[in-house]
Chain A
Amino acid sequence: MMPPSRRRSSVVLYALPVVLAFAALFFGRYGGSVSEAFRSLFSSGGSDLLRSLIFHVRLPRTLAALVVGADLGAAGAVLQGLFRNPLVDSRILGVSSGASFGACLAILVSGGALAVQTSAFVFALIAVAVVLAVGWRLGATPLALLLVGVAVSAFFDALLGLVKYVADPLSKLPAITYWLLGGLSGTQESNLAPLLILSGIGLAFLVLVRWRLNVLTLGDEEAASLGVRVRPLRVAVVLAASLLVATSVSQAGMIGWIGLVVPHVARAWVGSDHVHLIPASAALGGAILVVLDTIARTVLPSEIPLGILTGLLGVPAFLVLLVVYVRTQGGTR
């Protein structure tokens, strides 16, 4: 239940990604000024090339940024709540490592964009399947899942190291390195559909169960005493969050920090209640990634990998947040 002052600020929160995504359409290396892009879109005299560029290149890419950001933000918020740990991010379950290995393996073997994306997704699912299978036998407690996730992560990181080691240093290795740094330059209209559908499914599930997620932030015995069947619920939520992470990593590579920082900003904005936190994290994640991706594709003549940008901007943002948080809460607890 939300006080009225919060309600007003939440209008701002949800308008933010929409406004920013719309604005992003007017920025790009081609066609120079924003006013030119504006003319091509809203008056008959503008350039047809620019208009088609906006609709067929910038629009899909901006949509992808919006969705990937939303995926990572929401997944991060869910996983932090699930593991009752504010330092958890979307990479915790080994899903990202699995996806990275899958993608790089595909680059090593063939290199087709679709093969890379599919392989990344498949190996992400393999990783989460292993985590859940072993974690279930250990009672599917947060600690068990966390430990198994770290182990599975390390295993796929080792496999990734192997792929890099045997990759041709002149052709394959740069491609692998570039992929791992993350970015949305591979986005096309044609590969947008799976991203939108899979993200839609994952986000819809999490938004629907979001009140229940509050119960999962209690300890297992406490949640059980409230009549909640903890293990199946936790597994379902882990699957949905993993779906989001797998989808976004296979689309955009490794993009760190969004899944860690965004939920904290969202929590400061709307509070810890998942009813508000999940949509807010998705909205903020989307908004931030749209901004970062616009910077990535416009500032320098060649693209800046998104993973680098999120790190360069995400880390200082995180430190500032940490200081503010400690000052207002009066401790690092």
Chain B
Amino acid sequence: MRLEANCLSYAYPRRPPCIRRVSIAVEGGEIAFVLGANGSGKTTLLACFAGARRPTAGTVLLDGRPLRAFSPRERAKRIGVVPQFHDAAFSFSVEDAVGLGRAPYVGLFSRPGREDRLAVERALAAVGLASLRRRSMSHVSGGERQLAWIARGLAQGAQCLLLDEPTAHLDPQHEHTVFAVVRKLAGEGAAFLVASHHPETALLYAANVTFLQHGQVLASGPPLETITSDILSRAYSMEFRIVTGSDGERAVVPRIRRDETRTAEA
């Protein structure tokens, strides 16, 4: 399983391109991160991978075959999307929400059958939500909700999951619960492409990091080579320092002078 973009560009109608000649790839068993400032094109890039937006130039290849050659249904059986947030007007049970992932397998006029229910059960077990299956999605924690959307992707049969800032509003514990599951699933062969604001999370979990800036690739490679103070400073237009702890753990610290923070407090 390999999902790749070659020299991908995308422009919204009557606008300058917001993604320019981006090449990036993710393979089965791998977690790849896309980092970059707000508006750098992360979400649009994921939308091109999801087939929701058609690139204006360049191609997206799924196992060497152009993504456009897949029907929406065939594509959905291979690529799953985990939304950043989800404003449900009405809330489903966890089980039913995960069951929506069976849409590519269920005919227009039919309902999920035995096989679909089994797939949902397997997906719930894989992310550790089996005990919450009947709980309403509005009564589970943010982290559990993200896990449910990941399970929905698994129920889709997707071997590649696109995560758009999956832990943007999760506390550290929940963030790491979600990524522990992601790492476990990657170990079982799934591919993850994660758009994120957190370089530190990428340091912990990513096999590969791509920095986007103004829609172009600023840097890409293993996290230790790409998440450097130099690249971070350029990506986010502010100073950073990488601090290494006694156990080799790394932290990304913004360099802000004391008097600046005090002004902010005042």
Which A residues between 174 and 229 are near B, CB-CB below 8 angstroms?
A: 208-212, 214-215, 217-219, 221-222, 224-229
A227 touches B76 (CB 8 A): yes
Q: Which of A1, A84, A86, A271 has the most CB of B within 10 A?
A: A1
Residues of B within 8 A of A1 (CB): 95-96, 99, 117
B104 touches A227 (CB 8 A): yes
Q: Which of B77, B80, B91, B108 has the most CB of A within 10 A?
A: B108
Alpha-carbon distance A329/B101, docked complex (angstroms): 27
Which B residues between 6 and 42 are near A, CB-CB below 8 angstroms?
A: none
A225 touches B81 (CB 8 A): yes
The answer to whether the Cβ of A81 comes within 8 Å of any Cβ in the partner chain is yes
Return the chain B residue nearest A228 by Cβ.
B103
A217 touches B90 (CB 8 A): yes
Residues of B within 8 A of A233 (CB): 108
Q: Which single member of A86, A208, A217 contacts B109 (CB below 8 Å)?
A: A208
The answer to whether the Cβ of B255 comes within 8 Å of any Cβ in the partner chain is no
A229 touches B117 (CB 8 A): no
A272 touches B92 (CB 8 A): yes
Q: Which single member of B75, B111, B134 contacts A211 (CB below 8 Å)?
A: B111
**A212-B108, A222-B81 known; A227-B103 Cβ under 8 A:** yes
The answer to whether the Cβ of B50 comes within 8 Å of any Cβ in the partner chain is yes
- Map CB proximity to A onto B101-140 as digits: 1 under 8 Å, 0 otherwise: 1011010111110000100000000000000001000100
Return the chain B residue nearest A211 by Cβ.
B111
B47 touches A81 (CB 8 A): no
Alpha-carbon distance A226/B109, docked complex (angstroms): 16
The answer to whether the Cβ of A85 comes within 8 Å of any Cβ in the partner chain is yes
Alpha-carbon distance A271/B139, docked complex (angstroms): 14
A219 touches B89 (CB 8 A): no
Residues of A within 8 A of B112 (CB): 211
Alpha-carbon distance A81/B88, docked complex (angstroms): 10
A267 touches B90 (CB 8 A): yes
- Map CB proximity to A onto B39-77 as digits: 1 under 8 Å, 0 otherwise: 000000001001110000000000000000001111111
Alpha-carbon distance A85/B90, docked complex (angstroms): 8
B152 to chain A, nearest CB (A): 8
Alpha-carbon distance A217/B86, docked complex (angstroms): 11
The answer to whether the Cβ of A273 comes within 8 Å of any Cβ in the partner chain is yes
Residues of A within 8 A of B79 (CB): 225
Residues of A within 8 A of B52 (CB): 221, 224-225
A225 to chain B, nearest CB (A): 4
Residues of A within 8 A of B76 (CB): 225-227
Alpha-carbon distance A217/B87, docked complex (angstroms): 10
Q: Which single member of A3, A81, A224, A329 contacts B134 (CB below 8 Å)?
A: A3
Alpha-carbon distance A80/B90, docked complex (angstroms): 9
Return the chain A residue nearest B74 by Cβ.
A227
Chain B interface mostly helix, strand, loop or mixed?
Answer: loop
Alpha-carbon distance A211/B103, docked complex (angstroms): 9
B106 touches A272 (CB 8 A): no
Return the chain A residue nearest B117 by Cβ.
A1
A275 touches B90 (CB 8 A): no
Q: Which single member of A86, A209, A210, A224 contacts B72 (CB below 8 Å)?
A: A224
The answer to whether the Cβ of B229 comes within 8 Å of any Cβ in the partner chain is no
A92 to chain B, nearest CB (A): 14
Return the chain A residue nearest B162 by Cβ.
A225
Return the chain B residue nearest A220 by Cβ.
B52
Residues of A within 8 A of B75 (CB): 227
A7 to chain B, nearest CB (A): 14
B100 touches A224 (CB 8 A): no
B92 touches A214 (CB 8 A): yes
The answer to whether the Cβ of B233 comes within 8 Å of any Cβ in the partner chain is no
A219 touches B83 (CB 8 A): yes
- Map CB proximity to B onto A77-103 as digits: 1 under 8 Å, 0 otherwise: 000110011100000000000000000
**A225-B52, A225-B76 known; A217-B88 Cβ under 8 A:** yes
Alpha-carbon distance A85/B112, docked complex (angstroms): 25
**A222-B83, A273-B96 known; A212-B103 Cβ under 8 A:** yes
Can you name 12 extra interface pairs (CB under 8 A) apart from A1-B95, A233-B108? Answer: A3-B134, A208-B108, A211-B111, A212-B106, A221-B50, A221-B81, A222-B81, A226-B76, A227-B72, A229-B72, A273-B93, A329-B138
Binding site for A on B (CB under 8 A): 47, 50-52, 71-77, 79-81, 83, 86-93, 95-96, 99-101, 103-104, 106, 108-112, 117, 134, 138, 156
Nearest first, the 8 A-B pairs at minimum CB distance are: A227-B76, A227-B104, A272-B90, A225-B81, A84-B89, A227-B73, A226-B103, A208-B109
A-B contact pairs, 16 of them (CB 8 A): A81-B89, A84-B87, A86-B89, A212-B106, A217-B90, A222-B81, A225-B51, A225-B76, A225-B79, A226-B100, A227-B74, A227-B75, A228-B72, A228-B103, A233-B108, A329-B138
Binding site for B on A (CB under 8 A): 1, 3, 80-81, 84-86, 208-212, 214-215, 217-219, 221-222, 224-229, 233, 267, 271-273, 275, 329
